[in-house]
C-alpha cells in the first residue's frame, strides 16, 4: 500500500508500481477502469471555543477574517479549499501550510486557525470534543471516490478479492464519517 497525491498515484498505476488506486474522481487519465465506491465531504474544523461552534454551515465569506491552515499545497483537499474560497472572491489568510493531517488538526485545536479536511479524518477528535465540525456550503466539498485500475489488465485473484472487499466496505466507511459527524453536530449530542 502506498499513499500519494492523485497525479503521482496515477503515474504509479500506469508504471506498474501499483495494481489498484483509490482516488477522488474524476480521475484525469485514459485507459482506466473505475469502480465508484462512495462519497465523502470536506468540512471546516475549528477548536471547541471558536465562534463557528454550533453553526450548521459556513460559506466562503465566513473564511475572510479567519486564519486558515492549509494541507499540503499539492493536495486535492487544498485545491478544492482554495477554489471554493477564490470562487467567491475570498483571498485566504494562510496561517500555516503543513503536509501532515495529525499536525494540522493539532494546530487547529491550539487555535492557530481553521482548516478544511475530510470529515472521516477528524472523527476521533470530534468524538473527543477536541475539535468541532462545520459544513462548508460549496459544490466543491462533496467528493466521489473510485477504485481505479488499468483497462485490459488481467487482475490476479488477490487483487480481484481486494477490489471486491473495497467495493463492499468503502461506501459504508465513507458514509459512516458523514453520519457520525452529523450526530456530533446535534445539540443533544454535546
pLDDT tens across 21-63, in order? 999 888 877 788 888 888 999 999 999 999 999 999 999 999 9
Q: Exposed (0-12), middle (13-18) or buried (19+): which is 188, by Cβ within 10 Å?
A: exposed
Question: ω before 26 within 30° of 0 (cis)?
Answer: yes
| pTM (predicted TM-score) | 0.84
Boundaries of domain holding 130: 6-189
Domain count, the chain: 1
Does 125 fall in a domain? yes
Spatial separation of the C-alpha atoms in residues 68 and 168, rounded to whole Å: 36
The answer to whether 52 touches 132, Cβ cutoff 8 Å, is: yes
Taking the C-alpha atoms of residue 136 and residue 69, their distance in angstroms, rounded to an integer, is: 15
Is 77 domain-assigned?
A: yes
Q: Is residue 177 part of a domain?
A: yes
pLDDT: which is higher, 41 or 153:
41
CATH number at residue 144: 3.40.190.290
Q: Is the pLDDT of residue 188 over 70?
A: no
> Is residue 94 situated within a structural domain?
yes
Q: Could you tell me if residue 1 is inside a domain?
A: no
pLDDT in tens, 74-102: 899 999 999 999 999 999 999 999 999 99
Amino acid at each position: 500500500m502506498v499513499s500519494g497525491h492523485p497525479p503521482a498515484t496515477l503515474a504509479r498505476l500506469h508504471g506498474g508500481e501499483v495494481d489498484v488506486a483509490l482516488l477522488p474522481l474524476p480521475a484525469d487519465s485514459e485507459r482506466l477502469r473505475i469502480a465508484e465506491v462512495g462519497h465523502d465531504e470536506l468540512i471546516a474544523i475549528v477548536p471547541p471555543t471558536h465562534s463557528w461552534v454550533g453553526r450548521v454551515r459556513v460559506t466562503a465569506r465566513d473564511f475572510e477574517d479567519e486564519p486558515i491552515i492549509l494541507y499540503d499545497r499539492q493536495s486535492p483537499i487544498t485545491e478544492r479549499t482554495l477554489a471554493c474560497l477564490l470562487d467567491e472572491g475570498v483571498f485566504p489568510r494562510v496561517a500555516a501550510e503543513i503536509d501532515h493531517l495529525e499536525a494540522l488538526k493539532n494546530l487547529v485545536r491550539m487555535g492557530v486557525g481553521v482548516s478544511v479536511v475530510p470529515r472521516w479524518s477528524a472523527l476521533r477528535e470530534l468524538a473527543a470534543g477536541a475539535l468541532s465540525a462545520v459544513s462548508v456550503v460549496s459544490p466543491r466539498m462533496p467528493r466521489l471516490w473510485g477504485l481505479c485500475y488499468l483497462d485490459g489488465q488481467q487482475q490476479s485473484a488477490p487483487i480481484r478479492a481486494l477490489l471486491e472487499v473495497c467495493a463492499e466496505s468503502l461506501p459504508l466507511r465513507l458514509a459512516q464519517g458523514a453520519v457520525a459527524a452529523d450526530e456530533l453536530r446535534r445539540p443533544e449530542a454535546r
